[in-house]
């Protein structure tokens, strides 16, 4: 065996197990587990106690956890439900967000906070779909106009932000034109595979084989999804695109072709178990370990970036909700704006990419992530306060405080496979 130690991974595993248990023990503490996982990483890492570091085993599992996180995010976007006026309003809102984000990026460049304003701008345009949807579902709002509009806008924002990040900041070194060509080719491949898999699914013989093997030790559906994930990530890396794009598109492809789960109702719960039960917590804890809290506290100017980035999230993603006022009314559009401004997993991903590529300093990356943490703690609660009492309580699992790393309903519940509305996929919708 290679000369590696599993002690750091042991500590990470202890954190991953202890946090949901603690939240389950104190159900009144409505804090998403992902927030506490990152905070625990900060406390246990070099910035505070110095008990753990990101060594090879933790790094490898964290990278695969990131890939699984983005795959599950793509899995929950209902491409067939994003259409018509709802898609148009969501796309227009994202366009406004992008313009505002570019202005914010230029402003941060002017004060010396970043040397890559467009990179930061794209980071500010994403919404944490996996944190917002459970909040809406627990409040019984996922099927009403506010919930559906917010879910559509978050889906468009997540997809567009990942595509733009890959298009403009890929590592191919061939320029935007070459990257656009690779990206288009990748898109064509996804479409061809979707059509091909759709035809193959119609084969009764193959269907019988899949059903026979899906709940045995072969777990054939899970193995095929992992194969697709690794293949797309490897292809994206080979083409010089961001690997997160490959992971995201792998999930979108699975979600597109796997619409009828009647013959395999536990399939997605199994994927959740691998991702949120094992790999994804390693990514979030290790992200906290790598945050430069000490640098933030030692520089008052750097610490100032946290409230500025938080305000930037509110402006960039919250202000475009004015476009929804005619459809949702004043209170509804204000609540939608707050929910849209909630972002964390994508900020963590961008922070890591930015520090590795030199586009973000360690302190700026830490400030961005801490702003995301505050957005998760403040904005959803404020939005629900504006919306008032739930109209119809949805079946609840552990909720945002005790669900998986993103605080989602328990995937083992039978209601997890029930669809709700044209965009969300029932209580399982949007998890990253």
CATH architecture of 7-428: Up-down Bundle (1.20)
CB 386 within 8 A of CB 135: no
pLDDT band at 406 (very low <50, low <70, confident <90, very high): very low
Distance CA 345, CA 388 (A): 27
Number of Cβ atoms within 10 Å of the Cβ of 300: 8
Give residue limits of the domains in the chain.
7-428
Number of Cβ atoms within 10 Å of the Cβ of 71: 29
CB 68 within 8 A of CB 274: yes
The secondary structure of residue 395, as a DSSP letter, is P
Rg (CA), the chain: 21
Residue-wise pLDDT for 11-31, tens only, equals: 999 999 999 999 889 888 778
CA distances to 29, 321, 340, 409 from 332, rounded to whole Å, are 26, 9, 12, 24
pLDDT band at 335 (very low <50, low <70, confident <90, very high): very high
Q: Specify the pLDDT at position 268.
A: 87
Distance CA 104, CA 85 (A): 29
Lowest average pLDDT, out of 75-79, 301-305, 390-394, goes to: 390-394
369 CB-contact burial (10 Å; exposed 0-12 / middle 13-18 / buried 19+): buried
Mean pLDDT across the chain, nearest whole number? 82
123 CB-contact burial (10 Å; exposed 0-12 / middle 13-18 / buried 19+): buried
pTM of the model: 0.77
The secondary structure of residue 217, as a DSSP letter, is T
The stretch 245-252 carries a mean pLDDT of 87
């Amino acid at each position: 065996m290679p000369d590696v130690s599993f002690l750091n991974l042991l500590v990470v595993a202890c954190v991953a197990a202890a946090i949901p248990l603690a939240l389950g023990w104190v159900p009144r503490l409505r804090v998403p587990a992902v927030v506490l996982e990152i905070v625990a990483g900060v406390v246990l890492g070099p910035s505070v106690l110095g008990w753990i570091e990101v060594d090879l085993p933790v790094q490898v599992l964290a990278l695969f956890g990131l890939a699984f996180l983005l795959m599950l995010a793509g899995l929950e976007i209902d491409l067939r439900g994003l259409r018509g006026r709802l898609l148009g309003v969501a796309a227009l809102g994202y366009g406004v967000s992008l313009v505002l984000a570019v202005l914010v990026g230029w402003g941060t460049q002017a004060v010396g906070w970043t040397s890559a304003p467009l990179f930061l701008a794209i980071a500010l345009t994403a919404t944490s779909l996996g944190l917002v949807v459970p909040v809406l579902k627990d409040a019984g709002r996922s099927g009403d106009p506010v919930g559906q509009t917010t879910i559509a806008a978050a889906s468009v924002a997540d997809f567009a932000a990942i595509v733009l990040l890959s298009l403009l900041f890929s590592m191919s070194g061939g320029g935007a034109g070459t990257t656009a060509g690779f990206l288009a080719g990748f898109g064509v491949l996804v479409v061809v595979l979707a059509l091909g898999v759709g035809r193959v699914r119609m084969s009764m013989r193959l269907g019988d084989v899949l059903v026979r093997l899906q709940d045995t030790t072969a777990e054939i559906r899970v193995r095929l999804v992992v194969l697709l994930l690794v293949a797309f990530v490897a292809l994206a890396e080979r083409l010089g695109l961001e690997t997160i794009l490959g992971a995201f598109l792998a999930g979108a492809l699975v979600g597109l072709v796997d619409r009828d789960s009647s013959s395999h109702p536990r399939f997605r719960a199994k994927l959740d178990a691998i991702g949120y039960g094992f790999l994804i917590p390693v990514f979030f804890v290790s992200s906290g370990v790598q945050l430069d809290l000490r640098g933030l506290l030692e520089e008052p100017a750097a610490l100032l970036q946290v409230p500025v980035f938080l305000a930037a999230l509110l402006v960039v993603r919250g202000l475009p909700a004015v476009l929804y006022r005619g459809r949702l009314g004043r209170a509804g559009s204000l609540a939608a704006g707050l929910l849209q401004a909630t972002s964390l997993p994508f900020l963590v991903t961008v922070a890591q990419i930015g520090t590795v590529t030199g586009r973000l300093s360690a302190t700026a990356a830490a400030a961005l992530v801490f702003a995301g943490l505050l957005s998760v703690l403040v904005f959803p609660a404020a939005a629900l306060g504006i919306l008032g009492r739930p109209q119809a309580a949805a079946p609840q699992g552990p909720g945002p405080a005790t669900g998986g790393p993103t605080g989602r309903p328990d995937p083992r519940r039978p209601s997890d496979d029930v669809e709700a509305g044209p965009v969300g996929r029932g209580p399982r919708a949007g998890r990253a």
